[in-house]
Amino acid sequence: MGARLTGSHVDTQEPKTNPLVSISDEPETLYKRLSLLVKGHDKAVLDSYEYFAVLAAEELGISVEKVYKPPKTIERLTLLKSVHIYKKHRVQYEMRTHYVCLELKYLTSSTAAVYLEYVQRNLPEGVAMEVKKTKIEKIPEHIREPVWDTLPQVEETEVKS
């Protein structure tokens, strides 16, 4: 907030370039949709994680399409209670898996890499994640035109039956 003297050079127009950022020439791959499915045994942990992931996406400027909770799956086992005999007395265990699904739209590869690394490094213990990426691409060069038009005329051989 010092006084600006005439003749002093103040570079307020140039943005400060982060020395850690490196820009390469290769074109970015585009991801139309990124679908994160988070699985865990504890619903409260997943709720907190969902809040964190949604806030992180919004802060980084990623559009969140849908956040929904698929119904939980319960895997039950029935085992014998005793080590030897006593077939009529059993004990039952169950494993409950809760899910939270986050769908994000329209990410570039650098944004996706940054977001996924941030969100995966802060994945709590005992929680698993599946990331489904939908990449969009142009039709490759060799499928534009059928190659038979450009090849030189070759004598047709007998088609083997």
Partner 1 sequence: CVTPALSRRTATERMAVDQDWSSVYPTAAAFKPASVPLPIRMGYPVKRGVPPPKEGNLELIKIPNFLHLTPPAIKKHCAALKDFCTEWPSALDSDEKCEQHFPIEIETVDYVSAGTSIRNPKARVVTLRVKLSHLNLDDHAKKKLIKLVGERYCKDTDMLTITTDRCPLRRQNYDYSIHLLTVLYHESWKTEMWESEKTEEDMEEYIWENSCSQKNALDTLLRIKASENVSNVTKEELLASEVVKNYRNSVIALKNEGETENNMSQYKESVKKLLNIQALP
Residue 105 β-bridge partners: 33, 63
Minimum distance, C-beta of residue 9 to partner 1, in the bound complex (Å): 25
| Per CB under 8 A, 64 contacts partner 1 | no
Kindly tell me which residue out of 64, 99, 101, 118 binds partner 1, with binding defined by CB under 8 A.
118
The b/e string for 52-88 (b: 16+ C-beta within 10 A; e otherwise) is ebeeebeeeebeeeebeeeeeeeeeeeeeeeeeeeee
Residue 43 makes contact with partner 1 by CB under 8 A: no
Measured from the CB atom, the residue of 70 and 126 that comes closer to partner 1 is 126
Q: 85: left (phi > 0), else alpha (psi -120 to 50), else beta? A: left
Beta strand 30-40 with 90-108: parallel, antiparallel or unpaired? antiparallel
Q: Candidates 8, 138, 150, 154: give the one binding partner 1 (CB under 8 A).
A: 138
Residues that bind partner 1 (CB under 8 A): 18, 20-21, 28, 30, 32, 42, 44-45, 48-49, 52, 55-56, 59-61, 106-108, 110-111, 114-115, 118, 120, 122-140, 142-148, 159, 161
